Structures are given as structure tokens and as C-alpha cells.
Amino acid sequence: MNFLPGKRVLLGVTGGIAAYKSAELTRLLVKAGADVRVVMTDGAKAFVTPLTYQALSGNPVHHELLDETAEAGMGHIELAKWADRILIAPASANFIARLRQGMASDLLSTLCLASSAPILVAPAMNQQMWSNAQTQENVASLEQRGIHILGPDIGDQACGDFGAGRMLEPADLLQHLNLSFSSQLLGGLNVMITAGPTREAIDAVRFISNRSSGKMGFAIASAAREAGANVTLVTGPVSLQTPEGITRINVETAEQMGQCVLDQLADQHILIGSAAVADYVPSNSFQGKLKKSSQQLSIELTPTLDIMREVGGMTDRPFTVGFAAETDNIKTYAQEKRRSKNMDMIAANQVGVPESGFEVDTNSLDIYWANGEQHLALAHKTKIARQLVEVISRQYRENQGDNA
């Protein structure tokens, strides 16, 4: 479906040979019905003339920050407010670094700071520059701030090298941009997400908990919000900021989390259980602080309520998505867990894989449902969360269709 007619797209072109491909991108955007304004950096003008973009977009091209005539017409603040999306293609290593630093040293970087529109960045550079640790750090930081990084592709480069750094093809960029407008994927739906660990008291100062940082659950909450959902985030103790536009409920124990979920379940269309809920709670929590002694100490544990299982057993329940941490035989165990808890989907982490799972900023997931599966390759949790939300929304709609 084409969401682009009437959409106001600010296309930022920075200095790189791929700038010539953005002429084609401009043409495709206009053809798809978008209203396109092109902003060029000085570097970009060394590759393609503003006249090319002016002719293709049908609008004057902007390039000066302090230009009296431009400011008298659509000045930089108006332009920043005008945009529904900012797409920077190609984005040079230099521009990415400036964006990361929050510089306002030219028109395009200033617009990025002054606009509340979602920003999409299509890197294009030599493979060595792309794999440079500094560039990778810059890109990771942008992703963390919610900026969408599109590509780059792997292949032959203009400089004769081969590797990652080619700008995505104009048709691919068009598709990504279009998809970013379709992100009302969960529009109007109530989505509840559990996140983080729980804490089960041993005594007044000690507790049983786990390594969950809550990062995955918080990223899913942001992605679901971005996709138009009304999000309730029920979280155990974590040190993370609440994403904008989300209702956050803080809980500590598995029992509190369970109570909170069950209390509000009737209003939810989708429940995503990403919390690492404690499976056991000390049978008796000691009053005050347990005194140290040389004697052995045993703590008896009682199973907690399995929230997802409880929800799965209800006749009128929301679409439920659980998580599983597995060390081996992921598919078999994850599908078994999904079926036994009667969940619609399960997202499995492989435990012990570097850069994946607890505490770190990246993850990879294998998602399973009754008659399908999808692998999400290792990426920043922001990106994984957006992909997961896409899969969930697709399966949710399919499921609604089946139940209609």
C-alpha cells in the first residue's frame, strides 16, 4: 500500500558519489505522490547540481543556513516543522558524526535538530569508513536515539573496494520510507508489555532477582507506541527512562506484576511478556535482616504464579506473546513452551550467545507461532523491537481474521 501521497518528505543529500542515486530517489518519491523538498550540503553540491533536484522535485532546493531570501520564504524553522519525515540519503560518515554530535553547523544538521519528525538515515561510504569503530559507535548512538538506519548494502564500491557501505537502492529506500508511514500498525490497540526482572525478598535487605535490564521490554514499548498503540508498561526494578507517551507501572515482585497484569487484562488487545519473572519466591521472608552465622542456611522456595500461563488459560484473552531464554534446541523448546502456556507467539533468545540477550544493547530473536517462524538477525534492540512489532501486528491481524 502506498502511504506517500501528500506526505511531506525532506530529502537531505550529503557529499558522496551516491548523491546521483538520490536524483532517482527524488523522482520515485514524487511519482509516489510525496511532496519533496531537497536540502543539500556543500559536499553534495560537488557531486550533483541543485538544479537537478529542483527539476525532479519541482521545488526550490535549500542549501544555505543563513540565506536572507530563503529565510524570507520557507526559513529553516518552518522547513523543520513542515517535514513529516527527514530522509538523509546518502548520509556521509562526516554527516553521521555531526548528527551524532548534535551539531547545527549547516542547514541540514540544523533542521535535524529543529525537527520533531522521524529521521531516516541511509549511510553511504567506503567500506573501511563504515566499519571504523568510530562510525559504528556513531550509528549505534543514533539508533539508540530512535533514528532509523537504512542499510548500507554490501557490494562493489565506486572506489573499487568491496564491502559494506553502498547506499541502498532508491527503490528500497522508497519502500522503507513508505513503511515508516504504515507504522500505525497497532493504531488504536491497547498493548500491555511486561519488562525487567522481579525481586523476591529473602529478608529486609536481600532478594532473589536476575540479570534482566529491561532494555528489550522498554524498546518494545517504544516501538509499539511508535506503531500507534496505547502502551502500558509493567516493569520490575530497572534503571531506564520511561519512553515518551507510555503509561508505566512500577512493580517489584512477581505477585505484584501478576496482579497488575490480571487487573488490567480485560482492556488489552495484546499482551507481550518480556519480563524475566522470578519462578520461585522464598516461602517465608524473614522479618528484619537475617543475621550471619557459621551454620548452613537453607531458603525454601515456592513457585510463583506463571503470569503468561494464567493468561493463556483464560477463554477471553488478548493476543499473547511470550519470551523464552533457551540454551539449545531453541525451536523445539520454544514451540513446546508456547503450546504448553497456550500463547499465540513466542520470541526466543539464545542464551550465552555474545552480544545477545540480558544486559547488552543488542539482541537476536527467533519468533515462532502456530504455523510459522521468523529469525531476526543480531541488531540493536531498538531495531529488533520494531521488527518484532511488525511481526506481532501481522499475526495479530491474521488471528483476528481467523476469529472474525
Residues annotated as part of the active site = 159
| In the complex, minimum distance from the CB of residue 217 to ligand C5P, in angstroms, rounded to a whole number | 9
| In the complex, minimum distance from the CB of residue 354 to ligand C5P, in angstroms, rounded to a whole number | 21
Q: Which is nearer to ligand C5P, 98 or 215 (CB)?
A: 215
| In the complex, minimum distance from the CB of residue 281 to ligand C5P, in angstroms, rounded to a whole number | 9
Identify the CA nearest to 45 among candidates 19, 66, 67: 19
Q: Which is nearer to ligand C5P, 71 or 373 (CB)?
A: 373
Q: What is the DSSP string of 110-168?
A: HHHHH--S-EEEEE---HHHHHSHHHHHHHHHHHHTTPEE---EEEE-TTS-EEEEEPP
**Placement of cell 515482585 in the chain:** 253
- Residue 37 and residue 9 in contact, taking contact as beta carbons nearer than 8 Å: yes
Q: Computed from CA positions of residues 95, 170, 21, 155, in that sequence, does the dihedral angle turn out positive or negative?
A: positive
- Residue 219 and residue 240 in contact, taking contact as beta carbons nearer than 8 Å: no
Please give the backbone phi and psi of residue 166, each rounded to the nearest 5 degrees, phi first. Answer: -70, 140
| In the complex, minimum distance from the CB of residue 394 to ligand C5P, in angstroms, rounded to a whole number | 20
DSSP 188: T
| In the complex, minimum distance from the CB of residue 209 to ligand C5P, in angstroms, rounded to a whole number | 13
Q: Which is nearer to ligand C5P, 130 or 368 (CB)?
A: 368
Q: Which residues contact 100 (CB under 8 A, 6 or more apart)?
A: 138, 141, 142
Q: Which is nearer to ligand C5P, 183 or 304 (CB)?
A: 304
* Residue 314 identity: M
| In the complex, minimum distance from the CB of residue 345 to ligand C5P, in angstroms, rounded to a whole number | 10
| In the complex, minimum distance from the CB of residue 194 to ligand C5P, in angstroms, rounded to a whole number | 6
Q: Which is nearer to ligand C5P, 26 or 253 (CB)?
A: 253
**Placement of cell 488489552 in the chain:** 268
Identify the CA nearest to 107 among candidates 16, 9, 13, 8: 13
10 Å CB burial of residue 208 (0-12, 13-18, 19+) is middle
Query: Which residue(s) pair with 86 in the sheet?
Result: 10, 119
**Placement of cell 520511561 in the chain:** 242
- Cα–Cα distance between 233 and 293 in angstroms, integer? 41
Q: Which is nearer to ligand C5P, 25 or 277 (CB)?
A: 277
- Cα–Cα distance between 218 and 399 in angstroms, integer? 25
The residues binding ligand C5P (CB under 6 A) are 194, 254, 273, 275, 277, 279, 304, 306-308, 322-324, 337
Q: Which is nearer to ligand C5P, 142 or 348 (CB)?
A: 348
Q: Which residues contact 170 (CB under 8 A, 6 or more apart)?
A: 21, 22, 24, 25, 28
* Residue 303 identity: P
